[in-house]
Amino acid sequence: MSEFAQRVVAWHAKCGRRDLPWQGTRDAYRVWLSEIMLQQTQVATVVRYYARFLQRFPDVASLAAAPLAEVMRLWAGLGYYSRARNLHACARRVVSEHGGEFPRDALALAKLPGIGRSTAAAIAAFCFGARAAILDGNVKRVLARHFAVDGFPGASAVERRLWNLAEELLPQRRAMRAYTQGLMDLGATVCTRARPRCEACPVASTCLAFRTGRVAELPAPRPRKPVPTRRVHTLIAVHGDAVLVERRAPTGVWGGLLALPQFDSAAALHAAVRTLADGARARRLPARRHAFTHFTLAFTPHVVRVARLAPRAGEPGAEWLPLAQIETAALPTPIRALLRDVRAALALAPAPRKHRSEGRPSSQSWRTTQRRCDDLPGTRASPDG
Ligand code: SF4
């Protein structure tokens, strides 16, 4: 066993994490679920989602049998939604092609949707003791520092070098579980991005970055590219105690989730409002921003109260979501936050007089409806309807 692996294994025995809910199991379904959830997501966040998900889908068969919309609902808030779509597709493949059992081999695992080379290795090592190397973001950082590997770890030549190192360092089979977990723990708790605790590190004496004072500069950051901003207008149409939402297409941004109708221009939005409710006037709220990996979404919400349902309510993919359900519906986090604000503003505003559910509302109730929209944050300053 390499000296590096020996030290990591010994350190894990003394200082490794042991209390995470997905540790101590060799159930490939549970390990796979935790590995997918942990990609680009903090442990503290995953713990909550993991328990809720397992309660609803205790095994791969129940997940495969569920509709995608239900999976998206339970995933909502975790972000990176392609993971949830792949999770569902993977469960179906495991059931249809592997008789409900995950393959034991890392190469076969890596052929399943959403399982990359590192995740496949982690599942194979934890569940089947396979001798396969992991290389997630944390491990890349540890290796780049320890071996003073220059260059951005996402660049293909640098990544190849890191993979070679990861494979050279592997211990024998019997130590694979402890080594894999130890390496993960080292990256997550000691060799952290911002404040590494080199004084507590088991491999400090052989770490080149530590010895040469280059810890802060390694690994090299992603080369900077300007991040484009996409500007859109979103419609918050409120009818009674419900808001109009649309199911997004299965792929792309927020794929498969419920979201507010979105338009490229304010003019297009107002045209939609006119078909939705004759004479209604949308009010603009302050713009919000949400950062995705490759672009920033700047969205300007417009709110309108709809007194009566119009044909748009029956469009395929559109539905009226009760505001009381926004915490549990499959909504992206920024849209849920926006709807929380809208719901709070409506709760503070005076209730409108009752009117008939069909036909144009009375002038009194219409004025009250407009007043409630005016009471939403920011609407008075910038009417644009
Ligand atoms: Fe990371 Fe410091 Fe350990 Fe080197 S000595 S691997 S920089 S924690």
Among this protein's residues, is 35 annotated catalytic? yes
Q: Please list, residue by residue across 324-335, b when 16 or more beta carbons sit within 10 angstroms of its beta carbon and e when fewer do.
A: eebeebbbbebb
pLDDT in tens, 30-67: 999 999 999 988 899 999 999 999 999 999 999 999 99
Residue 12, in any domain of the structure = yes
Q: What was the pLDDT predicted at 252? A: 84
Tell me: pLDDT of 345 over 70.
Answer: yes
The verdict on 213 and 242 lying in the same domain is: no
* H/E segment holding residue 121: helix 117-128
Distance from the CA of 138 to the center of ligand 1, in angstroms? 12
Give the domain extent around 287.
Answer: 230-374
Q: What values do phi and psi take at 301, rounded to 5?
A: -80, 145
Name the domain boundary from 217, 244, 259. 217
Tell me: pLDDT of 361 over 50.
Answer: no
Name the domain boundary from 173, 189, 217. 217
Residue 261, in any domain of the structure = yes
Which is it for the CA torsion 276, 278, 283, 287, positive or negative?
Answer: positive
CA pair distance 181, 38, nearest whole angstrom: 14
Q: Is-contact 187 124, C-beta < 8 A?
A: no
In 10 A of CB 231, how many CB atoms? 13
CATH code: domain of residue 354: 3.90.79.10
Residue 246, in any domain of the structure = yes
Name the domain boundary from 217, 241, 272. 217
Q: What was the pLDDT predicted at 24? A: 85
Tell me: pLDDT of 337 over 60.
Answer: yes
Distance from the CA of 332 to the center of ligand 1, in angstroms? 37
Residue 381, in any domain of the structure = no
Tell me: pLDDT of 356 over 90.
Answer: no
The verdict on 212 and 248 lying in the same domain is: no
The verdict on 137 and 61 lying in the same domain is: yes
When mean pLDDT is compared across 41-45, 255-259, 380-384, the lowest value belongs to 380-384
Q: What was the pLDDT predicted at 353? A: 44
The verdict on 209 and 243 lying in the same domain is: no
The verdict on 183 and 132 lying in the same domain is: yes
Nearest C-alpha neighbor of 85 from the set 67, 66, 72, 100:
72
In the chain, the DSSP E strands lie at 229-239, 242-247, 258-259, 262-263, 283-284, 288-291, 296-305, 318-322
Residue 380, in any domain of the structure = no
In 135-249, the DSSP E strands lie at 229-239, 242-247
Top pLDDT among 111 and 371 is at 111
Q: Is-contact 49 74, C-beta < 8 A?
A: yes
183 C-beta closer than 6 A to ligand 1: no
Percent of the chain with pLDDT over 90: 72
The verdict on 209 and 261 lying in the same domain is: no
Residue 26, in any domain of the structure = yes
Distance from the CA of 344 to the center of ligand 1, in angstroms? 48
The verdict on 115 and 253 lying in the same domain is: no
Distance from the CA of 156 to the center of ligand 1, in angstroms? 23
Q: What is the mean pLDDT of residues 83-87?
A: 95
Where residue 310 falls among pLDDT bands split at 50, 70, 90? Answer: low
Q: What is the mean pLDDT of residues 97-108?
A: 97
Tell me: pLDDT of 283 over 70.
Answer: yes
What ligand 1 atom has the least distance to the C-alpha of 204? Answer: 5
Q: Which listed residue (3, 35, 217, 319) is catalytic?
A: 35
Q: What is the DSSP string of 176-196?
A: HHHHHHHHHHIIIIIS-SSS-
Distance from the CA of 120 to the center of ligand 1, in angstroms? 26
The verdict on 143 and 245 lying in the same domain is: no
Tell me: pLDDT of 364 over 60.
Answer: no
Q: How far is CA 323 from CA 182, 320, 336, 337, 379, in A?
A: 45, 9, 10, 12, 20
186 C-beta closer than 6 A to ligand 1: no
Ligand 1 pocket test, pick from 4, 139, 141, 142 with the greatest ligand atom count within 8 Å of Cβ, gives 142
309 C-beta closer than 6 A to ligand 1: no
pTM (two decimals): 0.74
What ligand 1 atom has the least distance to the C-alpha of 202? Answer: 3
143 C-beta closer than 6 A to ligand 1: no
pLDDT in tens, 170-221: 999 999 999 999 999 999 999 999 999 999 999 999 999 999 999 999 999 9
Q: What was the pLDDT predicted at 311? A: 54
Q: What is the mean pLDDT of residues 257-262?
A: 94
Tell me: pLDDT of 1 over 90.
Answer: no
What ligand 1 atom has the least distance to the C-alpha of 203? Answer: 3
CA pair distance 84, 114, nearest whole angstrom: 9
The verdict on 308 and 190 lying in the same domain is: no
Nearest C-alpha neighbor of 76 from the set 371, 330, 345:
330
The verdict on 39 and 85 lying in the same domain is: yes
Q: How far is CA 333 from CA 79, 159, 329, 349, in A?
A: 8, 32, 11, 24
20 C-beta closer than 6 A to ligand 1: no
142 C-beta closer than 6 A to ligand 1: yes
In 54-205, the DSSP E strands lie at none
Residue 223, in any domain of the structure = no
The verdict on 153 and 52 lying in the same domain is: yes
Q: What was the pLDDT predicted at 172? A: 94
In 10 A of CB 208, how many CB atoms? 15
CATH code: domain of residue 28: 1.10.340.30
Where residue 3 falls among pLDDT bands split at 50, 70, 90? Answer: very high
CA pair distance 248, 246, nearest whole angstrom: 6
Nearest C-alpha neighbor of 106 from the set 131, 135, 71, 75:
131
The verdict on 244 and 164 lying in the same domain is: no
Tell me: pLDDT of 250 over 70.
Answer: yes
Residue 259, in any domain of the structure = yes
Q: What was the pLDDT predicted at 376? A: 44
CA pair distance 223, 63, nearest whole angstrom: 39
Distance from the CA of 175 to the center of ligand 1, in angstroms? 22
Where residue 372 falls among pLDDT bands split at 50, 70, 90? Answer: very low
Q: What was the pLDDT predicted at 349? A: 60
Give the count of domains, the chain.
2
Q: What was the pLDDT predicted at 105? A: 95
